[in-house]
Amino acid sequence: MPVVPIESSDDPRIADYRSIPDPELLARRGVFIAEGRLVVRRLLETGSPCVRSLLVSDAALASIRDVVDPDRDSRRIYVASKDLLSAIVGFNVHRGCLACAERPAPLPLETVIAPTGRSPLIVLEAVGNPDNIGGIFRNARALGGCGVVLDRRCCDPLYRKAIRVSMGSCLEVPFTTVDEWIGTLQAIKDAGWWLVGLAPDRAAPDLADVLRGQRAAPVAFLLGHEGFGLSDEARALTHAVARIPMAPGVDSLNIATAAAIALYERRRQRQPR
């Protein structure tokens, strides 16, 4: 990776980085941005050929020197001062480290929902907050989720903040984003998944009890919009709707936390005793 000093925010070689505030433009260009030293390090350690270039401060470059090889890799490392980095991208860059990479080809739905034995699937409806998407992917990777299915209203998992919050898990957990939502939910059921919606309904049975009754079936957890929850159409297609018991006076959990509890409970119940 040849090291190239950058002296001007107008340098044409860093055009992709000037587009960071417009994630739709990045997606149309077929690229995504990874931000932060730990995330960029993880991306480089995979040996992925999708990385086009890096844009870093001197301090950030020093911290990842052990995973870049300027003599054997033709991809560029653009180096700029901290102030110039901020001027290029329009915000304070997290720890002075960015990577521009090519978006992978979208996975077919059939690939993501192929049952994998004991591993649960996460299904997301209209989850728009990148912090929540990143947290859900991080939890899925840590607690054995086999993949994530998202509808088109969800935040893009390859949005830089989602990737950063996920600690790179958005780059490792298989996912697909679909247009036809109700048909997708039916396809998930037809593939053999037991579809469990999560909702804070007081009348719904406890999650642990619901899962205890279906220890053998592969489980897909369906979670909805942060404010409005599951749509009536999605709820109608579930095999069951379950609640996570909470302390008196508390009516809801953060959606990433709810996903983590569901994944953990499924994992706990299926552990050999």
- Given this model, what pLDDT does residue 218 score? 93
Q: What is the mean pLDDT of each run of 10 residues along the chain (273 residues)?
A: 89 90 87 93 84 94 86 82 92 88 94 86 98 98 97 96 95 96 98 96 93 88 95 98 94 95 94 71
Shared domain check, 133 and 247: yes
- What pTM, to 2 d.p., does this model score? 0.93
Please state, in angstroms and rounded to a whole number, the distance separating the CA atoms of residues 32 and 147: 20
Nearest C-alpha neighbor of 224 from the set 208, 211, 235: 235
Q: Which amino acid is at 175?
A: F
- Given this model, what pLDDT does residue 210 score? 95
Shared domain check, 121 and 32: no
Of 67, 102, 137, the residue that ends a domain is: 102
Number of compact structural domains in the chain: 2
- Residue-wise pLDDT for 149-159, tens only, equals 999 999 999 99
Shared domain check, 16 and 88: yes
Shared domain check, 132 and 74: no
Shared domain check, 113 and 224: yes
**Structural domain for 83, as ranges:** 3-102
Q: How many residues does the chain have?
A: 273
Shared domain check, 155 and 264: yes
CATH code of the domain covering residue 232:
3.40.1280.10
Shared domain check, 54 and 123: no
Shared domain check, 115 and 43: no
Of 73, 102, 131, the residue that ends a domain is: 102
Tokens linked to 166? 């996920």
Shared domain check, 260 and 145: yes
Q: Which amino acid is at 106?
A: P
- Given this model, what pLDDT does residue 12 score? 94
Task: State the Cα angle at 154 between 152 and 156, rounded to 5°.
Answer: 90
Shared domain check, 178 and 265: yes
Tokens linked to 16? 């992709």
CA distances from 96 to 20, 57, 81, 253 (A): 14, 5, 9, 33
Of 102, 134, 149, the residue that ends a domain is: 102
